[in-house]
A = this chain, B = another copy of it.
Amino acid sequence: NYSSKGYTSSQIFVPYSVFKGKAALSLSPRLPTFTKLASGAVVIDRRGTMMMTFVPALGERKYDWEKKQRFALSATEVGSLISMGSTGSCEFFHDPAMLSSNAGQVRKSLSIKPHADSSGYFMSLSVVNNILKTKEYLSVPVTTAEFAVMKTACSFALPHIMGWDRLTQDQSGGMHGQ
């Protein structure tokens, strides 16, 4: 399948990462995929997300990528993040096995809570897996400046995640000769 090979080979990795004492946190947009119908119209196939990756520290400036945990923010969850004021907080719950027979067995929750002195936020991911009987908790302190980068970058990425950037890619669209 040429299209999917083409997709794979054009993947670009440009995460925004913050490395802290106990864990690192990395944000990277995942673009939506599209299907071209026989009519020529293009419809969205799989929605884009903002992927958050938490990685526990192994030691000084070393991180254990084998133990990374992921949480994929939807467009609406990105909307929560970019509309947070300096004292706001938010929490999201995901069930990766939703609609399957394992529904309810794994519970992921992401929380963003401000520091008491407004100097930044704690971004924390908790993963409770009832099948493997495991419970992970990873938390990363994020400064106001780092959070501003995340908000600006997420605001930029949001229309791309939603596929709205496609609106202007066909440069001849809507042009009529006289």
- Chain A residues in contact with chain B, CB under 8 A? 3-4, 6-14, 16, 18, 29, 31-45, 75-80, 82-83, 90, 143-149, 152-153, 155-160, 162-178
Contact = CB atoms under 8 A, between A and B. Distances in A.
A34 B145 contact: no
Contacts of A143: 76
Nearest to A144: B83
A170 B10 contact: yes
Given A9-B41, A12-B166, A160-B167, A149 B79 contact: yes
Copies in the complex: 4
A77 to B, nearest CB: 7
Contacts of A42: 10-13, 175
Given A12-B41, A35-B178, A38-B178, 9 more contacts: A13-B43, A31-B168, A33-B174, A34-B175, A34-B176, A36-B178, A75-B149, A76-B143, A149-B162
| Most chain B beta-carbon contacts within 10 A, residue among A16, A76, A77, A175 | A175
Contacts of A169: 168, 171
